[in-house]
């Protein structure tokens, strides 16, 4: 198969931990060809097909010079056996436009994973609202007054932007409400942007668990991202320590429920974030933690994913 990865710049990859790199490596190990492009390389001329300026690459095995460009060409997306959308957030207007181009490529015959319309329909923070039985009390609003009322009811809260990643822009406000007004003004830009507010879940001390759901089935191990020092965020990008753990019975119940509902919508890969028994995010754009789980447990997450991808791409169009 010839598989196109729509990604951030290859030269910015940290291949010792990058999940997309681990997908590429496993695909190449199985004999598949690999190509890459940036979202801005996508283009659509009226009357024509959606194409991209793509790099056909080979992984070298050298950590300092990890890929070689074999061919640079303008190619229709439908001519690839599969297209993987792996662009990191922010989930901004340009990301949305890219999903529209990928959606048109689908109509032309391309096989895109995760499905572009499903990416648009499941922004990572808002997607949890479909599963209130698994979430801590949550508010989505632009209103500073609504946030103050939510804080008055719940006392200890987390505030976050809807388009962040890696723990960016997350604030905790305790009972004393110290700086609550200033934090809300900063996050919602004086009412111009919508934010999410959640009741604080104290089990964050045990880690923010990343559960990987592949083709509707959870991987048997999770990565608990444990905050360090006085930090409230467990995100690896914010200094959290990643500790792989077996999937608990409760985590499996949550993951299977979410997977059964969302996988049929075209979400082959989901990264579920769970603190205690509360789902805090449903990541569908570029879920990570493949390498950390594989290295610590020996369970080959990239192989599980490529198995599922091959099965998906072999289905009748």
pLDDT at position 98, please? Answer: 98
CB 283, CB 273: distance < 8 Å = yes
In a domain, 132, yes or no: no
> 16, 63 in Cβ contact below 8 A?
yes
Q: Is the pLDDT of residue 230 over 70?
A: no
Q: Which residue would you say has higher pLDDT here, 16 or 236?
A: 16
Model confidence at 234, pLDDT cuts 50, 70, 90, reads low
Specify the pTM: 0.93
pLDDT at 192: 92
Per-residue pLDDT at 25 exceeds 70: yes
Query: Does residue 237 register a pLDDT over 80?
Result: no
Active site residues: 125, 160, 210, 225, 233, 273, 281, 283
Most confident of 89-98, 143-152, 167-176: 143-152
For residues 150 and 228, what is the distance between their CA atoms, to the nearest angstrom? Answer: 28
Q: How confident is the model at residue 168 (pLDDT cuts 50, 70, 90)?
A: confident
Where does a domain end: 180, 200, 220? 200
Number of domains in the chain: 3
What are the pLDDT digits (tens) for 121-134? 999 899 999 999 99
71 inside domain: yes
Judge if 267 and 245 occupy the same domain. yes
Same-domain check for residues 189 and 234: no
On average, the pLDDT of the chain sits at 95
Percent of the chain exceeding pLDDT 90 equals: 90
Expressed as residue numbers, the domain containing 165 is: 137-200
């Amino acid at each position: 198969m010839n598989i196109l990865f729509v990604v951030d710049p290859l030269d910015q990859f940290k291949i010792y931990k990058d999940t997309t790199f681990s997908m590429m490596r496993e695909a190449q190990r199985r004999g598949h060809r690999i190509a890459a492009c940036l979202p801005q390389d996508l283009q659509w001329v009226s009357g024509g097909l959606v194409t991209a300026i793509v790099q056909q690459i080979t992984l070298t095995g050298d950590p300092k010079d990890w890929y070689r460009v074999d061919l640079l060409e303008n190619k229709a997306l439908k001519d690839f056996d599969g297209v993987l959308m792996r662009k990191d957030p922010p989930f901004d207007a340009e990301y949305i436009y890219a999903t529209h181009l990928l959606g048109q490529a689908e109509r032309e015959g391309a096989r895109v994973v995760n499905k572009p319309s499903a990416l648009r329909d499941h922004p990572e923070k808002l997607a949890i609202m479909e599963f209130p039985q698994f979430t801590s009390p949550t508010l989505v609003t632009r209103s500073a007054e609504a946030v103050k009322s939510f804080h008055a009811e719940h006392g200890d809260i987390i505030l976050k932007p809807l388009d962040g990643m890696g723990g960016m822009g997350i604030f905790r406000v305790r009972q004393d409400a110290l700086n609550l007004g200033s934090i809300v003004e900063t996050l919602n830009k004086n009412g111009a942007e919508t934010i999410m507010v959640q009741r604080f879940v104290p089990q964050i001390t045990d880690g923010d668990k990343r559960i990987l759901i592949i083709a509707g089935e959870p991987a048997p191990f999770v990565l608990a991202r444990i905050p360090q020092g006085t930090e409230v965020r467990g995100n690896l990008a914010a200094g959290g320590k990643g500790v792989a753990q077996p999937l608990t019975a409760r985590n499996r119940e949550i993951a299977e429920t979410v997977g059964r509902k969302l996988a049929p919508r075209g979400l082959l890969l989901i990264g579920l974030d769970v603190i205690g028994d509360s789902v805090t995010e449903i990541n569908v754009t570029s879920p990570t933690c493949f390498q950390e789980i594989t290295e610590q447990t020996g369970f080959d997450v990239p192989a599980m994913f490529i198995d599922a991808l091959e099965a998906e791409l072999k289905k009748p169009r």
